[in-house]
Amino acid sequence: MEYTEIIEEAGITLTLNKLRTGLAMLGIIIGIGSVIALVSLGQSSQASVSNQIESLGANLLTVSPGSQRGGFVQGGFGSATTLTLADAEAIASSPTATDIANVSPEYSKRAQVTANGKNTNTSITGVRAIYSTIHKVSVAEGVFITASDDARQAKVAVIGPTTANNLFATTDALGQSIRIQGQSFKVVGITVSKGGTGFGNADDVIYVPLSTAQKTLFGSTSLSSIAVEAKSATVMTAAEDEIGYVLLDRHKISSPSQADFSIFSQNDILSTASSVTGTFTALLSGIAAISLIVGGIGIMNIMLVTVTERTREIGLRKALGAKKKNIIAQFLIESIILTFVGGVIGMGIGIFASFIISKVISLPFTISIGSIGLAIGVSGAIGILFGWYPAQKAANLQPIEALRYE
């Protein structure tokens, strides 16, 4: 007795009761479909997050102000004003900080911007010319903020493509004037899109000279962050230490545990972000896996009903010479076909769903061979796992009892 024949026969049996077969498969279809879709979306969002973070600049260390610890009151994160332009210049000019390539002092604040009768709220970032090098920002039209802009507190702005679109939907933004907090700025450049989304979108920004932002716009002497580019990826830790010592010395703090600033690298952000998305993916996949188990139990249920319904047939087959292994093979193959076909359909639906969702929320669409292999393997394994008991039950029926069964 060949397996192709058993498979053919099982296929015929399953098509005899299409509704039941379909319903039995449904659990597996949903289970596999959701596993595929969730794993795919998880990987997509992870890839998207790491792309976005990497696009913000490599070998990058970010120094953020922090509240001084050790006192009775601790200020909120990022609210402190402990970093100054002098700190940034000290890092850049320090003779001990040998692993540092570039230093970019930055001041950033959200503000209301109007132009052309349109109104938007976006992030205003005061930068120096070096910003574009460190953060890999390039201009599509016009020029970036220059050193002379900064020196003369020029009222010029370089805007992101999203901002340009928000303010000047149809007309060319270059050369137009925008009003930031009531002051008029001339648009001298538009950046190339980085493809970000949502809050913190790298395309929805306005760059102005640092001196203009600090003195003219917001009247502040502090910095919101200092971006430091290390000479290479391998000296990131050394560069982090060098920055730390310069700042601790300048701020007259003896112990690093009491530092009033924090330094983190792109890698830190990256690993935090991936661990967050990873946890979510694992959690959702876990839920999907539970639905797979439920689907498997559904298969077992249907197979047990089938065995009971076909008791006479089993008795007859045994009377005519079917051995235990023949009966086991027959029922096991039926349940494997159920789960396997269900798994393939579920995989198709899952891929389609993740494709649609990734288009809707504009994520890159990724589907891994691993998850396809896993889905096929798991659905087959579920067929064996949950089909085994009903098949055993069928094989162990006594032919006389089975023939007598009404």
Which residues of this chain interact with another protein, rule CB under 8 A? Answer: 1-2, 5, 16, 312-313, 316-326, 399-400, 403
Nearest distance from C-beta of residue 319 to another protein, angstroms: 6
Name 139's Cβ contacts closer than 8 Å, sequence gap at least 6.
132, 158, 189, 190, 191, 192
Q: Beta-carbon neighbour count of residue 95 at 10 Å?
A: 5
Q: What is the signed CA dihedral for 69, 72, 77, 78, rounded to 10 degrees? A: -80
Contact call for residues 211 and 153 (beta carbons, < 8 A): yes
Between residues 89 and 401, which has the closer beta carbon with respect to another protein?
401
Nearest distance from C-beta of residue 12 to another protein, angstroms: 9
Q: What is the DSSP string of 117-147?
A: TEEEEEEEEEE-TTHHHHTT--EEEE----H
Between residues 186 and 312, which has the closer beta carbon with respect to another protein?
312
Between residues 71 and 321, which has the closer beta carbon with respect to another protein?
321
Contact call for residues 20 and 334 (beta carbons, < 8 A): no
Phi, psi (degrees; rounded to nearest 5) at 392: -60, -45
Nearest distance from C-beta of residue 318 to another protein, angstroms: 6
Q: What is the signed CA dihedral for 53, 55, 56, 62, rounded to 10 degrees? A: 60
Between residues 88 and 397, which has the closer beta carbon with respect to another protein?
397
- Cα gap 60→228, rounded to integer Å: 6
Nearest distance from C-beta of residue 342 to another protein, angstroms: 24
How is residue 348 written in tokens?
Answer: 């198709």
Nearest distance from C-beta of residue 326 to another protein, angstroms: 6
Q: Which helix (H) or strand (E) holds 102?
A: strand 100-115
Name 323's Cβ contacts closer than 8 Å, sequence gap at least 6.
none
Phi, psi (degrees; rounded to nearest 5) at 75: -75, 165
Contact call for residues 168 and 198 (beta carbons, < 8 A): no
Nearest distance from C-beta of residue 316 to another protein, angstroms: 5
How is residue 210 written in tokens?
Answer: 């640092």
Nearest distance from C-beta of residue 4 to another protein, angstroms: 10
Between residues 16 and 360, which has the closer beta carbon with respect to another protein?
16
Nearest distance from C-beta of residue 385 to another protein, angstroms: 25
Nearest distance from C-beta of residue 402 to another protein, angstroms: 10
Between residues 215 and 393, which has the closer beta carbon with respect to another protein?
393
In 3D, which of 129, 77, 88, 68 has the Cα closest to residue 221? 88
Between residues 142 and 399, which has the closer beta carbon with respect to another protein?
399
Q: Beta-carbon neighbour count of residue 182 at 10 Å?
A: 9
Contact call for residues 87 and 226 (beta carbons, < 8 A): yes
Between residues 336 and 402, which has the closer beta carbon with respect to another protein?
402
Between residues 251 and 393, which has the closer beta carbon with respect to another protein?
393
Provide the 8-state DSSP code for 306.
Answer: H
Nearest distance from C-beta of residue 327 to another protein, angstroms: 10
Between residues 1 and 282, which has the closer beta carbon with respect to another protein?
1
